[in-house]
A = this chain, B = another copy of it.
């Protein structure tokens, strides 16, 4: 019992030291810097056991130990206390986010803030369309047969689509179309929009039916589908600082970030309970993210989930601090968006 407990202390100390120094940590340094109450020799025995169990590893003989993914996992699950943010950090969050003029601005500031607080790459997802509701649909005629459809959601997103129509339209037709669409979809969650289409087409005046059908089809096809979820990414400059932590090069990671789809999946799969999720190294199950960890959490207004946000960095990161920062920022963003 007592051994087990101390071994965990040793693991914790190893993780902490390694994260802060980036040097494999040896038994002697550990005994000096931490009050473990035992000699280096004893620590060596513990380390041998930890290595046996797969929590730590040696880069090479005669080097210190380094935590494995499994070691970080244990650290995150059982050994790390939540690190409260400093007053200065709370202040910074407020100062940074207040004064945003629209959703785009809020998310842009959020991603910069997160990157600055954590010194990692930050990722913020736009509020999911499928979980948003229609606030207003605007229709603007571009040419005789071409419309610009602008969707405004209750989460503040504004999306545009160009719709090619089968027939030419008069100005009155466009106004009628706008009224029809709004009365049909206003307040509807986008996920449910599809089911309202048949009814809408049926009740539309005959001369507008083809038009309504074409426009609603575009609406449902391109706005309800997932895959239309967007990401804001920032702080990639931080990768240059941590470049040495990534084995091969930064390239695959940068590519994955640009690709968006992989990261989007990781960020959007958040715990509905609001807990911060940590995925360490190979847990991410994607080649480009070997050696990378993702810390993410959902944000929302009240009890309603809007999307996810988080950070991506090397497995060798300050988990308690980053988890605290991610959670705090998510809460604040949620509040901010609830106001509008």
Give the complex CA separation of A104 and B157 in angstroms.
14
Q: A82: CB under 8 A from chain B?
A: no
Interface centre among A140, A158, A237, A254 (most CB of B within 10 A): A237
Query: Quick check: B161 and A102 within 8 Å, CB to CB?
Result: yes
Q: Which of A69-77, A87-95, A144-152, A269-277 contacts B (4 or more CB under 8 A)?
A: A144-152
The answer, among B103, B150, B161, B251, for a CB contact under 8 Å with A237, is: B251
Q: Residues of B contacting A135 with CB < 8 Å?
A: 140, 148
Q: A213: CB under 8 A from chain B?
A: no
- Residue-wise, chain A 97-141 has the 8 Å CB interface mask toward B (1 for contact) of 000011110000000000000000000000000000001101010
Q: Residues of B contacting A236 with CB < 8 Å?
A: 236, 254, 258
Q: Residues of B contacting A152 with CB < 8 Å?
A: 138, 140, 148, 150, 160
The answer, among B102, B239, B258, for a CB contact under 8 Å with A162, is: B102
Query: Quick check: A101 and B243 within 8 Å, CB to CB?
Result: no
- Residue-wise, chain A 316-336 has the 8 Å CB interface mask toward B (1 for contact) of 000000000000000000000
A236 and chain B: residue at smallest CB distance: B254
Query: Quick check: B340 and A162 within 8 Å, CB to CB?
Result: yes
Query: Quick check: B101 and A161 within 8 Å, CB to CB?
Result: yes
Query: Quick check: A240 and B251 within 8 Å, CB to CB?
Result: yes
Q: Residues of B contacting A148 with CB < 8 Å?
A: 102, 135, 152, 156
Q: Residues of B contacting A251 with CB < 8 Å?
A: 237, 240-241
The answer, among B136, B158, B235, B258, for a CB contact under 8 Å with A158, is: B158
A237 and chain B: residue at smallest CB distance: B254
Q: A262: CB under 8 A from chain B?
A: no
Query: Quick check: A249 and B254 within 8 Å, CB to CB?
Result: no
Q: Residues of B contacting A254 with CB < 8 Å?
A: 236-237, 239-240
CB distance from A39 to the nearest CB of B (A): 42
Give the complex CA separation of A162 and B136 in angstroms.
15
Q: Residues of B contacting A101 with CB < 8 Å?
A: 161-162, 222
Query: Quick check: B240 and A249 within 8 Å, CB to CB?
Result: yes
Give the complex CA separation of A254 and B115 in angstroms.
13
Query: Quick check: B162 and A150 within 8 Å, CB to CB?
Result: no
CB distance from A175 to the nearest CB of B (A): 12
Q: A214: CB under 8 A from chain B?
A: no
Q: List 7 A-B contacts (CB under 8 A).
A: A102-B148, A103-B160, A140-B152, A146-B340, A150-B152, A241-B251, A243-B250
Known A101-B161, A237-B251; 5 more pairs at CB < 8 Å: A101-B222, A140-B152, A148-B156, A156-B160, A234-B258
State the 3 A-B residue pairs at the shortest beta-carbon distance, nearest first.
Answer: A240-B251, A237-B254, A237-B255
